Chains A and B, each alone.
Chain A
Amino acid sequence: MASIYDYPSQIRRDILRMVHKPQSGHPGGSMGCTEFFTALYFDVLHHNPSAFTMDGRGEDLFFLSNGHISPVLYSTLARSGYFPVSELSTFRLINTRLQGHPTTHDGLPGVRIASGSLGQGLSVAVGAAQAKKLNGDSHLVYTLHGDGELQEGQIWEAAMYAGAKKVDNLIATVDANGQQIDGSTDEVLPMGDLGAKFAAFGWDVMHLEHGNDLDAVRAALREAGTRTGHGKPVVIIMKTAMGHGVDFMAGTHKWHGVAPNDDELARALAQCPETLGDY
C-alpha cells in the first residue's frame, strides 16, 4: 500500500517525463501544485475513480480552471485509477486522450469540462454546485485557479454570484505562485490583496502559507471542508513555488511552458526519487 507521501515525487517524475517526450507542455505550475493534487485526490476528495460518471452525483467534484497544468492533473488521475498510468506516455501526441489542455471531447475519465482558455472554471463550478443543491447532494465542489488567471473578468462575475447567492458548497483554491508568462504577477499586473478582494465579494477566505507542504495542504483542505455550509463560498489563497521540487526549476516563471531537454530531465529526475514506479 502506497503512502500518501510517496505521491508527490512520483507525480513530479510523471510531469517531467510527460512534457519531455513531446518537448511541450507546462511543468512549472504543475510541479508547484503537486502537493495540492496529492492532498485533494489521495486524502480529501470523496470520489469514485473506477466508475467515472459525467454527472458525478454522490461524489465530490473537482474542476481545473487553469487547464495548462494538465500534466499534474493527468498524472494524479491516472495514479488514482481513472485510466492506466501507461497512457501518460501519450500526452500531447497525435490521437491522444491526454490533450494539451483537458477536454471531455475524447472521453477521458476524470475530466468533466474543457479548460485552457482561462477564467471559465469558477462559473462552471458554481453551476455544478447549484446542481448539487438541486439534487440534494451534500458533496462538495472544488476548483483550482492560477493567480494570473484572476486577471480574467469572468472570475469576478462568478465570485460576485457565488458570494451573493451563498453558494456555500464550493471550495476554490488559488495557486498563488506570483508568476505568469510575461514575468511575476507584480510586474505584469499587480493584483493587490487577493484575500481582501474575495472577502469583499462575500467569500470566506483562508490563507495557506506553505502550499508545497503536503500536510499543510491536507489540513487546509480539511478545514475548508468544515467551513462549507455556512452561507459563504470558501477560497484558499495557497502560496506555492512554481517548479517546486527541482532546484533549477523552482521559483521562476521560466519553466511555465518550457519542457526540459535530455540533460535537464536527467538532472531533474535525480532530484525526484521513483517512489511508485514510472509509467
Chain B
Amino acid sequence: MHPYTNQGSQDTRSGFGAGLLELGRSNPHVVALCADLTGSLKMDAFAKEFPERFFQTGIAEAHMMGMAAGLTIGGWIPFTGTFANFSTGRVYDQIRQSIAYSDKNVKICASHAGLTLGEDGATHQILEDIGLMKMLPGMTVVVTADYNQTKAATIALADHHGPVYLRFGRPKVANFTPADKPFIIGKADVLLEGSDVTIAATGHLVWEALEAANTLAAQGISAEVINFATIKPFDTEALLKSVHKTGRVVTAEEHQRHGGLGDLVAQTLGMHRPAPIEMVAVNDSFGESGTPAQLMDKYGLNAAAIVEAALKVRNR
C-alpha cells in the first residue's frame, strides 16, 4: 500500500491563489493580471492586498498576454490568470511572439484545465494545452498534482527566469504531497518504488496512479509511481532509471494522447530505451458536460483505467 494520505481534498487553483498571495508578500517584483476570472482563479486575496500590483484586463486575454510581456520590461514578474483554454489556444500567437520568442519572464497560470472543469463542457475543457505549450522553444511547462504542490510550484516560478506555463484545475482533489516540500522545476518525484511497471503520471492523475498502485499490489504487481509535474524540461533520467527496473510504462494524464505526457514518454523511450507503453489519456476526442467524476470515468481517466492499462502492458 502506498504511504500517502489525503490531508483533506482541496482544489489546485486554491494552491495557486495561496502561493500567489505568499509571493505578493515575499517578492515585491511580482505582479498579477487577470481577465475577469479573479474569483475562479483564487486571485482575489492578492488583488485585495496588493491592488497596485494587480491588473484587471477585462475579457481580453490576447491583450493580457501582451501587457504581461510589456510589464517585464522594467523588471516586474507578471503572473497571468485565466482558464487554461483562454491561457493557451485563444492566445497562442501572442504567447509565441510576445512572450516565448521575445524571452519574456511571464508566468502563464491556467486553471480549469481538462475534463474536470465539468458541466461547462467541451468549449472550456481544453485537452490540448500541454502539447501547445511544450512545443514552444524555451517554454517551461509545469502540471501540478495537488494543492500543496501547486502552491509550492507557484512560489518556485518567481525565482525561475523565463516563460512558464503552469497548469492546474477546478475540482477538489486529494491533497497528499508534503506541505513543506519545495518545488524543483525539471525534477520528477518517485512517489512509490516498484519493480514490475512504471506509472508516469501528471496533474490530477497522480493520485489516481497511487490508488491504482494499491489495487495492483493486491494482485501481486509492484508498480513504481512517478509524478512528472514538470513536463518540460523533461526529467529523462528519472524515466529511464525507472524503466531499467520495470521494463514497461503506463502514462496517465488529463489531456489528449496526442501531444501530452504520453507522447513525450514514448519519444523518450523510443530514443533511449524502447519499451512497451500504454497511455491513459483522451483519445482524439472533445469532452462534454457532466460531473468531473462522471467524465473521468467515461473517458477512462482514473485509477481503474490505470490498473487496466498496467495489466495490458504487463502482457506485452
Do the two chains bind? yes
Chain A residues with Cβ under 8 A from B93's Cβ? 117, 120
Provide the residues of chain B in CB contact with A122, threshold 8 Å.
Answer: 66
For B62, give its contact among A115, A123, A132 (CB under 8 Å).
A123
A103 touches B53 (CB 8 A): no
Q: Are A114 and B70 in contact (CB under 8 A)?
A: no
Q: Which A residues form the contact surface with B (CB < 8 A)?
A: 54-57, 61, 103-105, 112-117, 120-132, 134-135, 137, 153-154, 157-158, 160-161, 164
CB <8 Å contact, B76 and A131 = yes
CB closest chain-A residue, reference B60 = A157
Taking CB atoms, residues of chain B closer than 8 Å to A157 are 57, 60, 62-63
C-alpha gap A78/B58 in the complex (Å): 39
A161 B75 Cβ-Cβ under 8 A:
no
10 contacts between A and B (CB under 8 A): A56-B74, A120-B94, A123-B69, A123-B94, A127-B67, A130-B71, A131-B71, A131-B74, A158-B66, A164-B58
Using known A-B contacts A127-B67, A127-B68, determine if residue A134 contacts B98 with beta carbons closer than 8 Å: no
**Quick one: which of B73-107 are within 8 Å of A by CB?**
73-76, 78, 93-94, 96-98, 101-104
Contact, CB under 8 Å: A128 / B73: yes
Q: Is the interface of A mostly helix, strand, loop or mixed?
A: helix
The 8 Å CB contact of A114, one of B52, B55, B97, is: B97
The docked-state distance in angstroms from the alpha carbon of A132 to that of B72 is 11
Closest CB in chain B relative to A109 CB, distance in Å: 14
Q: Given A114-B101, A134-B52, are A154 and B66 also a contact pair (CB < 8 Å)?
A: yes
Shortest CB distance B120–A (Å): 23
* Residue of A128, A129, A132 contacting most chain B CB atoms (<10 Å): A128
Q: Which residue of B lies closest to A159 (CB)?
A: B63
Q: Are B97 and A120 in contact (CB under 8 A)?
A: yes
Q: In the assembly, what is the distance between CA of A114 and CA of B66, in Å?
A: 11
Contact check, B73 vs A131: say whether CB atoms are below 8 A apart.
yes
CB contacts (< 8 Å) of A127 on chain B: these are 66-73, 78
Query: Could you tell me if B62 and A154 are in contact, using CB atoms closer than 8 angstroms?
Result: yes
How many residues belonging to B are interface residues under a CB distance threshold of 8 Å? Answer: 32
Known: A61-B73, A123-B66, A134-B74. A114 touches B102 (CB 8 A): yes
Whether A154 contacts B53 by the Cβ 8 Å rule is no
Instruction: Say yes or no: is B31 at the interface (Cβ < 8 Å to chain A).
Output: yes
Tell whether, in the assembled complex, residue A153 and residue B97 are in contact, meaning their CB atoms are under 8 Å apart. no
Residues on A with C-beta less than 8 A from B72 are 127, 131
Q: How many A-B contacts at CB < 8 Å in the complex?
A: 117
Instruction: Determine which residue in B55, B74, B94 has the highest number of CB atoms from chain A within 10 A of its CB, and name it.
Output: B74
In the assembled complex, the Cα of A113 lies from the Cα of B71 at a distance in Å of: 12
Taking each of B57, B70, B93, B103, which has the highest tally of chain A beta carbons within 10 Å of its own beta carbon? B70
Q: Which of B52, B96, B98, B101 contacts A124 (CB 8 A)?
A: B98
Identity of the chain A residue whose Cβ is nearest the Cβ of B75 in the assembled complex: A55
The minimal Cβ–Cβ distance linking A57 to chain B, given in whole angstroms, is: 6
B89 to chain A, nearest CB (A): 15
The residue from A113, A158, A164 contacting B102, defined by CB atoms under 8 A apart? A113
B57 near A161 (CB under 8 angstroms)? yes
A160 and B97 contact, CB distance less than 8 A: no
Known: A55-B74, A127-B67, A131-B74. 16 other contacts (CB 8 A): A56-B73, A57-B74, A114-B101, A115-B97, A120-B97, A123-B63, A123-B98, A124-B70, A126-B63, A126-B67, A127-B68, A127-B69, A134-B74, A158-B60, A160-B60, A161-B60
Note all chain A residues with C-beta closer than 8 A to B70: 113, 123-131
The smallest C-beta distance from A268 to any residue of chain B, in angstroms, reads 32
Residues of B contacting A115 in the complex (Cβ-Cβ under 8 angstroms): 97
Which chain A residue lies CB-closest to B70? A127
Q: Could you tell me the distance between the alpha carbons of A112 and B102 in the complex, rounded to whole angstroms?
A: 8
Q: Complex: how many Å from CA A258 to CA B102?
A: 27
By a CB distance below 8 angstroms, the chain B residues around A154 are 62-63, 66, 94
Contacts of B62 in A (CB 8 A): 120, 123, 153-154, 157
Find chain B residues with CB under 8 A from A129 CB: 70
The CB with the most chain A CB atoms within 10 A, among B64, B67, B93, is that of B67
Contact B75 A57 (CB under 8 A): yes
- Of chain A, the residue at the smallest CB distance from B91 is A154
Asked whether B65 is an interface residue with its Cβ less than 8 Å from the other chain, the reply is yes
Q: With A and B bound together, what is the CA distance between A178 and B279 in angstroms? A: 54
Q: Which residues of A contact B65 (CB under 8 A)?
A: 123
Q: How far is the CA of A41 from the CA of B71 in the complex (A)?
A: 23
Taking CB atoms, residues of chain B closer than 8 Å to A164 are 58
CB closest residue in chain A, given B66: A123
A134 with B31: CB separation less than 8 A = yes
Most B CB within 10 A of own CB, among A114, A121, A124: A124
Question: Which residues of chain B are near A114, meaning CB under 8 Å?
Answer: 97-98, 101-102
Query: Can you name the residue of chain B whose Cβ is closest to the Cβ of A104?
Result: B102
A131 touches B63 (CB 8 A): no
Contacts of B73 in A (CB 8 A): 54-56, 61, 112-113, 124, 127-128, 131
Task: Check A103–B101 contact: CB distance below 8 A.
Answer: yes
Q: B58 touching A134 by the CB < 8 A rule? A: no
Please tell me if the beta carbons of B71 and A128 are within 8 angstroms of each other in the complex.
yes
The residue in chain B whose Cβ has the minimal distance to the Cβ of A63 is: B70
A160 contacts which of B58, B66, B76 (Cβ < 8 Å)?
Answer: B58
A128 to B70 CA separation, bound complex (whole angstroms): 4
Question: Contact at B74–A117, with CB atoms within 8 Å?
Answer: no
Contact of B67 among A103, A105, A123, A153 (CB under 8 A): A123
Q: Which of B21-79 contact A (CB under 8 A)?
A: 31, 52-53, 55, 57-58, 60, 62-76, 78
CA distance A48 to B58 in the complex (A): 35
